[in-house]
Amino acid sequence: MSIPGLGQAAPTAAFLAPIPVAPTVVHDLQANSEWRFEVDIGEKIDVKILSGTAEIFGTELAVNHLYTFRGAKSSIYTWHGCRIEVTGVCEEYTAEETPMTQYVNTHFALEKLRDEAERDRREGPRVLVVGPTNSGKTSLVKLLAAYALRMGQQPMVINTDSREGLLSIPGSLTATPFASIIDVEQGWGSSPTSTSTPVPVKLPLCYYYGLGNPEDNTKLYKPIITRLALAATSRLTDDPAIKSTGMIIDTPGVISQGKGGFDLISHIVSEFSVNTILVIGSERLHSEMLRRFSTYRTSTGETITLVKLDKSGGCVDRDDTFMQLTNEATVKEYFFGDTRTTLSPHTQSLGYDEVTVYKIREAHTNSFLPGGVEETDHGLYEKVEPNASMQHCILAVMYASVSDSQDTIRDASVMGFVYVAEVDETKRRLKVLAPMNTRMTDRPMIWGSWPEVAVSLMG
């Protein structure tokens, strides 16, 4: 055994493997062209605009500012040409044929309606965007919201797609007034329920559905949409700037792809008093919308304007694996922050008798009930005792009392989310991870099947 410092031979120099350097490429984009890129989950690229003007989904990029994109599928568009520097590895190509002219013309048409609404002191356009899955609906909503912001407007953005969260984790439906720039690196930006950012946080109205498909339980989905519409309309009425700007409503693609979903579209149109429907990427869907809504009148007696828009060639299919990894990353960011900001969540040990947990009933669980018994006869939720199958699941903590009715709990907004890290059936205790050390035993918790978390967050 050698003892340090007692005459042993000097150590030989160790040759370390060189740290790989990410490649850097400069692209010169011509006017009216789009650079499209895909970054794998777990990877990143750095992008800098060296000269010219460019934007991401309507949000202008600053010259000589470094933007970092992780696990993203996105695009940079330039109206007048630009020079960009890209560091890192991604799949990429440049396209010169895009539907951007259609999209910006739609924006200017909405601006005209907003000017008229402000002049007449009434509500601005309530815009519904529909289309098949992966047709670019969310990208269009983001682009129209960003252009409205650049014009000094304050749009209310509504997310009715529980598969993807907007300023919240998946499984929730939100209504968010936008008064500041959209953070292009974080998608929509951040809220107090996610993490901090140099861009001002947004304050979403958040409600919990807890299932991945609206058709999984329409008896739950519809009332939550009604409650979301009521809250959004009330917020609209209280703020003149938001009132004249109006709403932009994103929808899940699944409801645009079958006859069963058209009933849900009609429900959203009715509850939000939609007066403009943008149909993207489907001639058949546009024809169906014309048939259903050409003679429709809103609650204020307005007719509905239908506009068919082309699907962007940059739209890519996001398979189940990509969506699962994206959702897991969103959940992790909610509790732990991101690379720019580290959060310190708290763990709490709770006894079975201290918590009140309701599990969402799946629609199919009551499909064989005898004697014409309806699903609503059994309630929307089933009160359950914590058990081992709850481990690694997300629970929504509601702004309600444990003594409230199920309807009251359903209509309540979300206080926050907790992650069940451990369930000890012997000691009848569970360990939960929460964003902050807040008492939650006096609040009902909702257990849904979405989002699915396949890995432990504590590992």
Known binding residues: 34, 73, 134-139
C-alpha triplet 4, 8, 12: angle, nearest 5°: 95
Strand partners, 447: 359, 395
Phi, psi of 185 (to 5 degrees): -75, -30
Spatial separation of the C-alpha atoms in residues 178 and 248, rounded to whole Å: 11
Q: Which two tokens stand for residue 427?
A: 């000691």
E-only strand ranges, 53-164: 55-56, 59-60, 66-70, 73-78, 82-87, 91-95, 126-130, 156-159
Mark residue 96 as left, alpha or beta (left: phi above 0; alpha: psi -120 to 50; beta: remaining): alpha
Which residue stretches of 306-418 are H helix?
320-336, 406-411
The contacts of residue 364 (CB under 8 Å, 6+ apart) are none
Contact 182, 189 (CB under 8 A): yes
E-only strand ranges, 224-317: 247-250, 276-280, 305-309
Angle of helix 283-293 versus helix 259-271 axis, rounded to 10: 50
| CA quadruple 445, 451, 456, 459: dihedral sign | negative
- Write the DSSP symbol of residue 23: P
**Greatest extent of the chain over all pairs of C-alpha atoms, in Å:** 96
Question: Is the bond into 125 cis (omega within 30 degrees of 0)?
Answer: no
Q: Specify binding-site residues for ATP.
A: 34, 73, 134-139
